[in-house]
């Protein structure tokens, strides 16, 4: 019997819940010759800021047991290049959901970028990354304070009519508090979670492995923690969740959805294996059959 992999995010139908996470799949165009991108449920594009950014100094990626560290520093060509060049080029080859990931270092920058993304016809969903440091308040990330997170959400909501997802940082004491704050401020959905802050030291050189000392830790090792946060937030909020963090196989997608995620993003695994997403999608029907699942929609939040 044919399995139903489809899900719905804020009125947008996805043929399956599998989405490459922002920063791990470029702008989609980089892999167009590797496989048919239209097998995906959607793509969360590389994060965009108001101005083009070179990013942090090298080295900015390091391999770790169970995952990887990155301190790329939001390298991107800027929001204007996204809406005027990247999106039109992607839409020539891709007809599934396009998610624009927006970053910023001030409320005004978030507002400006969201307005431009909202006006771009080829973008379906805005995903606002609030893990960026607030340069006007000592560098504290917007996403670590409920009030600051709500302020970004409110500004983004006023600048856009498209479905608005807020991507939360896990580097907080109580992620439910942050989630409720952005829900109350007008978010349509949440992406959980971004990377965990970590570091490694080169003991031979007696120096940090990354030029920026610390970076975001992602990969299989963080899956149980990310899953726990998705579960907690799903039971505290009413808006849909895109689960993210350590997903590497079809069984992980099922777990994330049972915990409360409507869609599931695959991040670091794409760096290790560019075919990770299509492989997971191909494996899902077999896993569903083994578990007696006819439709993925029936398992969302079932635990």
What are the residue boundaries of the structural domains of the chain, listed by start?
7-299
Q: Which of 132, 237, 244, 277 is catalytic?
A: 132
Find where tokens 């080169």 sit. 202
Residue by residue, DSSP assigns 214-232 as -EEEESGGGHHHHHHHHHH
Residue in 262, 265, 259, 270 with CA at minimum distance from that of residue 245: 265
**What order do you get walking across the sheet with 61-64 strand by strand?**
61-64, 67-70, 215-218, 196-198
pTM: 0.97
**Residue 228: which residues within 8 A CB-CB, separation 6 or more?**
none
3-state helix, strand, coil in the chain (%, to 5): 35, 20, 40
**CA proximity to 72, closest of 46, 50, 98, 45:** 46
The CA-atom distances, in angstroms, between 114 and each of 90, 99, 123, 200 are 19, 12, 11, 35
DSSP state of 29: G
- The verdict on whether 132 is a catalytic residue reads yes
Q: Which CATH class is domain 7-299?
A: alpha beta
Tens place of pLDDT per residue across the chain (303 aa) = 899 999 999 999 999 999 999 999 999 999 999 999 999 999 999 999 999 999 999 999 999 999 999 999 999 999 999 999 999 999 999 999 999 999 999 999 999 999 999 999 999 999 999 987 666 666 678 999 999 999 999 999 999 999 999 999 999 999 999 999 999 999 999 999 999 999 999 999 999 999 999 999 999 999 999 999 999 999 999 999 999 999 999 999 999 999 999 999 999 999 999 999 999 999 999 999 999 999 999 999 999
């Amino acid at each position: 019997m044919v399995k139903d992999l489809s899900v719905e995010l804020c009125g947008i139908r996805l043929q399956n819940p599998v989405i490459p996470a922002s920063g791990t799949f470029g702008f989609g165009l980089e892999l167009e010759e590797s496989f048919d991108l239209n097998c995906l449920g959607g793509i969360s594009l590389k994060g965009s800021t108001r101005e083009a950014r070179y990013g942090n100094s090298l080295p900015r990626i390091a391999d770790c047991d169970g995952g990887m560290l990155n301190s790329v520093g939001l390298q991107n060509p800027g929001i204007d290049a996204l809406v005027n060049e990247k999106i039109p080029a992607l839409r020539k080859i891709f007809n599934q959901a396009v998610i624009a990931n927006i970053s910023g270092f001030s409320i005004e920058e978030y507002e400006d970028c969201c307005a431009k993304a909202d006006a771009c016809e080829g973008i379906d969903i805005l995903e606002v990354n609030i893990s960026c440091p607030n340069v006007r308040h000592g560098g504290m990330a917007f996403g670590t304070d409920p009030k600051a997170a709500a302020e970004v959400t409110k500004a983004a909501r006023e600048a856009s009519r498209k479905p608005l997802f807020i991507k939360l940082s896990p580097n907080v004491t109580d992620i439910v508090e942050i989630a409720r704050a952005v829900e109350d401020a007008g978010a349509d959905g949440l992406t959980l979670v971004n990377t965990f802050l970590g570091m490694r030291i080169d003991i031979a050189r007696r120096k940090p492995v990354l030029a920026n000392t610390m970076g975001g830790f992602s990969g299989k090792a963080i899956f149980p923690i990310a899953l726990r946060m998705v579960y907690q937030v799903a039971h505290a909020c009413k808006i849909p969740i895109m689960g993210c963090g350590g997903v590497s196989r079809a069984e992980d997608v099922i777990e994330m959805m049972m915990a409360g995620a409507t869609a599931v993003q695959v991040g670091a695994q794409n760096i290790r294996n560019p075919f990770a997403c299509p492989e997971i999608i191909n494996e899902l029907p077999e896993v569903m059959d083994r578990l007696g699942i006819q439709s993925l929609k029936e398992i969302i939040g079932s635990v």
